[in-house]
């Protein structure tokens, strides 16, 4: 089954059109809608953002459901990303630690502080490793 896109005028397969809420099919194909979305955003990002916020306000329940689904869907990826930041002691992670440990502002953090905190973390991690090894030896 094919359908004619009202925007580009091409005949395309049904799965190249989005389904609407009531199981209808959009009159424009996915590619055209996506293109228009992108150029619309480039031309006037404020308007697109304002409309998106407005939509979210009026569709709170639906938005919550979308957030929940997205949270579940990307959970693994997010955890992996977070673990990488912690494992490799990336600066943003170190900065956040310094802010929460010492209660200072982000722009008060110096490079020296970051280096010191990193060193501290590396040492603490090494100590933990040694402790674990010692405990396992008995």
Residues that bind Zn ion (CB under 5 A): 5, 7-8, 29, 32
Between 30 and 95, whose beta carbon lies closer to Zn ion? Answer: 30
Q: Are 109 and 91 a contacting pair, CB within 8 Å?
A: no
Q: How far apart are CA 48 and CA 38, in angstroms?
A: 10
Min separation Cβ 121 and Zn ion, Å: 53
Between 5 and 98, whose beta carbon lies closer to Zn ion? Answer: 5
Min separation Cβ 13 and Zn ion, Å: 12
Report the DSSP beta bridge partners of residue 29: 17
Q: Are 74 and 68 a contacting pair, CB within 8 Å?
A: no
Distance of CA 71 to the CA centre of its chain: 9
Min separation Cβ 9 and Zn ion, Å: 7
Between 26 and 63, whose beta carbon lies closer to Zn ion? Answer: 26
């Amino acid at each position: 089954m094919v359908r004619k896109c009202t925007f580009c005028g091409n005949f395309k397969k049904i799965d190249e059109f989005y389904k609407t809420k009531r199981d209808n099919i959009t009159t424009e194909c996915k590619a055209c809608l996506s293109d228009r979305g992108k150029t619309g955003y480039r031309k006037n990002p404020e308007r697109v953002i304002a409309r998106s916020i407005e939509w979210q306000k009026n569709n709170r329940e639906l938005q919550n459901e979308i957030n929940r689904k997205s949270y579940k869907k990307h959970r693994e990826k997010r955890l992996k990303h977070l673990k990488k930041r912690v494992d490799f002691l990336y600066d943003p992670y170190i900065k956040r630690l310094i802010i929460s440990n010492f209660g200072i502002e982000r722009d008060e953090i110096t490079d020296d502080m970051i280096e010191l905190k990193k060193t501290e973390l590396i040492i603490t991690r090494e100590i933990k490793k040694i402790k674990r090894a010692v405990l396992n030896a008995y």
